[in-house]
Amino acid sequence: MNAMRRLPLLAAVLLAAPLAPLLAGCGKKDDSKAPRPPAQVDYVTLRAAPVTLSTSLPGRLSAHRVAEIRPQVSGVVLKRLFTEGDTVQAGQQLYQIDPKPYEASLASAKATLAKARAAVVSAQNTVNRYRPLAKAFAVSKLDLDNAVATLGQDQADVASGQASVQSAAINLAYTRMYAPISGRTGRSSVTEGALVTQNQTDVLVTVTELDPIYVDVTEDSTTVLRLKREFAAGTLKRAANGGAEVRLVLDDGSDYGQPGQLLFSEVSVDQTTGSITLRALFPNHDGLLLPGMFVRETIEEGVRQNAILVPQRGITHNQHGDATAMVLDADDKVATRVVVTDRAIGTDWLIDKGLAAGDKVLVDGLQNVHPGDKVQPREVTVDGTQVKPVQPAANSQAR
């Protein structure tokens, strides 16, 4: 009897066990439907300020003028009259080729010329004697004509002799090789005793003019057009000779103290890259700049008053590729603005359209919010290219 009474009680316990969690859950609230706290974001308040605009272009140095010295006559080099690497002046003698064969050629040409001149004198005397005799029919007219022809041939020999003398004198002068320009010499490819030939392809030495010196940079055609418009409008700073003034930053990051002049000399655009090569001219009195060095050229474009700068991390792009910024309204709600950027200045974007002074632009926490969300903002300040957070006043008082 006791066993039969225990069976209904055991069945009731077994039925109640699975229902216990369900009954317990009925008394709790659904946490998933509870409102989430506003996301924390950092923002900057935009302020208008004057900004100096400049364009930095990479480039390489190239020589102003280069002269490759080659022999114009053949012979043996007797002397090298310069030190490799030194600066030479225009007209300074560099090499001396053995002049003796050319001195002999000049002497021979002069002798031939003297002989031709003597022949002219003899032929002229014959013509002078035959003319009165021909009128008296003492000599035939044929003899007079032959005498005149002989005189003409001898006069032609004189002209040819004069040309030979001049050519021999030029060749003799070519044995002394001079620097056509002032500049620094490179490594000489020959020494005394070397045999050189006329118009050979090998260069004896190269003279490079380094003062002034060129800087060649490549930039897209859009930037070049903007620079030309700004130069025509007077926005670009002008150099002393009327060109656009440019500055130079060397490969080690140091500034080159002397300004240069930008030359808008290129007239064609590279069809494959859409770029234009610009050339600037810089003084190089101390020879610090050398051809082939990598430099950066800075062009000052003036000052834009009331410029708006936004940290680059505050600018994103939408699915259409437009630059956008998230801003806060008076109720601390997020809104999206489409903006137009001009260029990057340090770690900031220069804004042309879409934002104004006083706007609050989100710079941190953008990935956690959407347009229309109410957020918990914290203001930070931006100083040039650095953004530093500002500690809340409550925390300061607590400390």
223 burial (CB, 10 Å; 0-12 / 13-18 / 19+) is: middle
Q: Which residue from 226, 222, 216, 228 is spatially nearest to 274, judged by alpha carbons?
A: 222
Share of the chain above pLDDT 90, in %: 35
Q: 113, 158 in Cβ contact below 8 A?
A: yes
Q: Which pair of structure tokens corresponds to residue 98?
A: 């053995």
Tell which of 254, 269, 304 closes a domain. Answer: 304
pLDDT at 381 over 80: no
CATH number at residue 283: 2.40.30.170
Q: What is the pLDDT of residue 276?
A: 78
In sequence order, the 6+-apart residues with CB closer than 8 A to the CB of 243 are 261, 262, 263
> Is residue 6 in some structural domain?
no
Distance of CA 300 to the CA centre of its chain: 15
- Is 12 a member of any domain? no
Q: How confident is the model at residue 181 (pLDDT cuts 50, 70, 90)?
A: very high
Helix H, strand E, coil C: the string for 212-259 is EEEEEEEEEHHHHHHHHHHHHHCCCCECCCCCEEEEEECCCCCEEEEE
Element (H, E) at 114: helix 100-135
Residues 109 and 92 in one domain: no
Mean of pLDDT values over 208-235: 80
Kindly state whether residue 284 falls inside one of the protein's structural domains: yes
133 — pLDDT class (breaks 50, 70, 90): confident
184 in the same domain as 91: yes
Does 287 share its domain with 374? no
Could you give the number of structural domains in the chain?
A: 4
Residue 125 within any structural domain of the chain? yes
Are 314 and 376 in the same domain? yes
Q: What is the 3-state secondary structure (H, E, C) of 154-178?
A: HHHHHHHHHHHHHHHHHHHHHCEEE
Cβ contacts of 117-124, under 8 Å, gap ≥ 24: 117/158, 117/161, 119/154, 119/157, 120/151, 120/154, 120/155, 120/157, 120/158, 122/154, 123/147, 123/150, 123/151, 123/153, 123/154, 124/151
The residue among 304, 338, 357 that closes a domain is 304
Residue 170 belongs to domain with CATH number: 1.10.287
Q: Do 360 and 392 reside in the same domain of the chain?
A: yes
DSSP letters spanning 42-94: EEEE---EEEEEEEEEEEEEEEEEEEEE--SS-EEEEEE-S-TT-EE-TT-EE
CB 82 within 8 A of CB 185: yes
- Residue 183 sits in a domain whose CATH number is 2.40.50.100
Q: Which one is predicted more confidently, 389 or 38?
A: 38
The tens digit of pLDDT for each residue in 290-317 reads 898 999 988 777 777 788 899 888 899 8
Beta bridge partners of 316: 324
Task: Confirm whether 310 is domain-assigned.
Answer: yes
Domain range holding 80?
71-98+176-202
Q: 243 and 198, same structural domain?
A: no
pLDDT tens profile 2-46: 444 554 544 444 444 555 554 455 545 555 556 678 888 888 889
Rounded CA-CA distance 1/230 in Å is 112
- Asked whether the CA dihedral 338, 342, 343, 349 is positive or negative, the reply is negative
| Nearest by Cα to 391 from 378, 382, 376 | 378
183 DSSP β-pair partners: 88
- For 54-106, the pLDDT digits (tens) are 778 888 999 999 999 999 999 999 999 999 988 999 999 999 999 999 999 99
Q: Looking at residue 23, what is its pLDDT?
A: 47
121: its two tokens: 């004198």
Reply yes or no on whether the pLDDT at 384 is more than 50: no
Q: Give yes or no for residue 398 having a pLDDT over 70.
A: no
Helix axes 141-174, 100-135, angle to 10 degrees: 160
Q: Are residues 183 and 221 in the same domain?
A: no
Q: Indicate the helix (H) or strand (E) that contains 153.
A: helix 141-174
311 shares a domain with 299: no
Q: Does residue 322 lie in a domain region?
A: yes
Let me know whether 88 and 185 are in one domain: yes
